[in-house]
């Protein structure tokens, strides 16, 4: 049985036990998205563009889910660091209540707002229809995304990232069957196009909710009596939201950032550039997987140690996760650069799209390590109950600077679509340097408390 006390024992062992299963799970989650993108490309370039345009809207669903989950993980980890099992169940109960409420809000607002966003991003009617068909189904299934994030928080705070990994592997395999079933109309079903891709995703999330709920029920810290006796608490909900909303807003800035990128990509290169960006991002996500697993380890271990006042271990976690992340990411960069054109061609036979996607990857290549620096730093701060930096840096690198830099590079300097690609690199490096310096400043404060 896994040792859930992360305030003791070798930090390297804890990082390995948490990050490796998390990275494997995220690998299959990314492959899940890759499969969706491949099938979208098989339908048509317009379908792929429609799905790419829907990504920032879809990401809002993920942002709220992940933010509440991240906030819950931080607080539940602190509770476990304090050895308080009652708090664990109390936070879990209220997290689920908040999650259900927000999923209802997401569905209602999403259905109202999404048509207007699509009209801004593309004038192509076919692309609009494919995008709306996809995103509407996602909204209806948003409750399962949110519930899965909270249930995973209740598991990962104990150091259990294996259960979520198992769900993502099962989900990937199930999606391999469901995508062609709904898209190609197997066994007499109608061909549903991008709507079928979204329906497959929602079904997988529903299966995940059942499985993760069972794993929480069987976990070491879960007590059914304490959970059922827990009461809705506005105070606890505010605590969770104080931690979760900054994380959600940070991820929402990513969604808005993709919206900005899509806008400028469409302006300088049309729908084919939007589709190329959507395909290339899937490859980029594969390269970032090791860093994402380390994010989970950094948040969970720092959260427990902050609750247990083991501040020296937090500093050690930061050093080690950064070292591992940069090393692994650099290896990934060496692999992806020469294979960029082959990787993009997996999604489409359109030569123009392949060329644009390849150019994007070979420029974005220079920004890969910034994601390690940014995400691990933000995870450490989240574990230390300092979540608001994520919002500030998110607004800086996703919205404010892109609007200025993309226009300056693309229009004023005449770089066109290359101004967008190089702008991403410049902005990310400036944000990463600022964030690392801020995190070090906060860690120096912890060192003083140790002395």
Residue 385 phi/psi, 5-degree rounding, is: 60, 40
Per-residue pLDDT of the chain (451 residues; tens, 9 = 90+): 444 677 888 888 888 888 888 888 878 877 787 788 788 877 777 787 777 777 767 777 777 777 888 778 778 877 777 777 788 888 888 888 888 888 888 888 878 877 877 777 666 777 778 888 888 888 888 889 889 988 988 888 887 888 988 998 999 999 988 988 888 777 777 787 788 888 998 999 999 999 999 999 998 888 888 888 888 888 888 888 887 787 777 777 777 788 888 889 888 988 788 888 878 887 887 777 767 788 888 988 888 888 888 888 889 999 999 999 999 889 888 888 888 889 888 877 788 888 998 999 999 989 999 999 999 999 999 888 887 888 899 899 988 999 999 999 999 999 999 999 999 999 999 999 999 999 999 988 877 666 5
Dihedral (CA of 69, 445, 377, 106) sign:
positive
Class of residue 362 by CB neighbours under 10 A (exposed 0-12, middle 13-18, buried 19+):
middle
Dihedral (CA of 430, 435, 438, 444) sign:
negative
CB-CB contact of 55 with 44 (8 Å): no
What's the rounded Cα separation, in Å, for the pair 147 and 231?
Answer: 18
CB-CB contact of 266 with 420 (8 Å): no
The total of other beta-carbon atoms located within 10 Å of residue 400's CB is 14
């Amino acid at each position: 049985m896994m040792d859930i006390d992360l305030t003791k024992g070798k930090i390297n062992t804890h990082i390995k036990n948490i990050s490796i299963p998390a990275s494997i799970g995220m690998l299959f989650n990314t492959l899940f998205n890759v499969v969706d993108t491949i099938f979208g490309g098989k339908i048509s370039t317009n379908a792929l563009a429609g799905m790419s345009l829907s990504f920032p809207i879809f990401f809002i669903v993920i942002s709220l889910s992940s933010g509440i989950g991240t906030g819950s993980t931080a607080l539940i980890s602190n509770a476990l660091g304090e050895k308080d099992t009652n708090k664990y169940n109390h936070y879990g109960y209220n997290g689920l209540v908040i999650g259900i409420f927000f999923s209802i809000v997401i569905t209602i607002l999403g259905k109202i707002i999404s048509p207007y966003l699509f009209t801004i991003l593309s004038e192509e009617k076919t692309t609009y229809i494919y995008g709306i068909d996809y995103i509407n189904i996602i909204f209806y299934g948003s409750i399962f995304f949110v519930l899965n994030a909270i249930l995973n928080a209740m598991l990962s705070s104990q150091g259990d990232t294996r259960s979520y990994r198992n769900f993502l592997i099962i989900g990937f395999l199930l999606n391999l069957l469901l995508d062609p079933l709904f898209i190609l109309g197997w066994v007499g079903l109608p061909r549903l196009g991008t709507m079928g891709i979204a329906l497959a995703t929602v079904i997988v999330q529903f299966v995940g909710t059942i499985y993760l709920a069972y794993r929480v029920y069987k976990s070491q810290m879960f007590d059914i009596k304490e959970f059922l006796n827990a009461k809705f608490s506005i105070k606890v909900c505010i605590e969770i939201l104080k931690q979760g909303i900054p994380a959600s807003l940070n991820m929402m800035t990513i969604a808005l950032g993709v919206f900005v990128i899509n806008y400028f990509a469409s302006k300088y290169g049309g729908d084919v550039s939007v589709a190329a960006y959507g395909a290339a991002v899937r490859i980029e996500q594969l390269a970032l997987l090791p860093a994402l697993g380390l994010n989970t380890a950094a948040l969970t271990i720092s959260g427990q140690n902050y609750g247990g006042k083991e501040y020296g271990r937090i500093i050690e976690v930061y050093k080690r996760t950064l070292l591992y992340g940069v090393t692994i990411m650099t290896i990934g960069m060496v692999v992806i650069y020469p294979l960029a054109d082959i990787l993009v061609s997996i999604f489409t036979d359109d030569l123009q799209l392949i060329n644009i996607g390849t150019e994007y990857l070979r420029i974005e290549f220079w920004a890969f390590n910034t994601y390690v620096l940014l995400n691990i730093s933000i995870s450490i701060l989240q574990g230390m109950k300092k979540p608001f930096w994520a919002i500030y840096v998110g607004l800086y690198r996703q919205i404010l600077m892109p609007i200025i830099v993309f226009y300056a590079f693309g229009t004023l300097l005449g770089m066109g679509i290359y101004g967008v690609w190089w702008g991403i690199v410049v902005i990310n490096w400036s944000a990463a340097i600022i964030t690392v310096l801020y995190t070090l400043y906060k860690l120096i404060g912890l060192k003083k408390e140790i002395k």
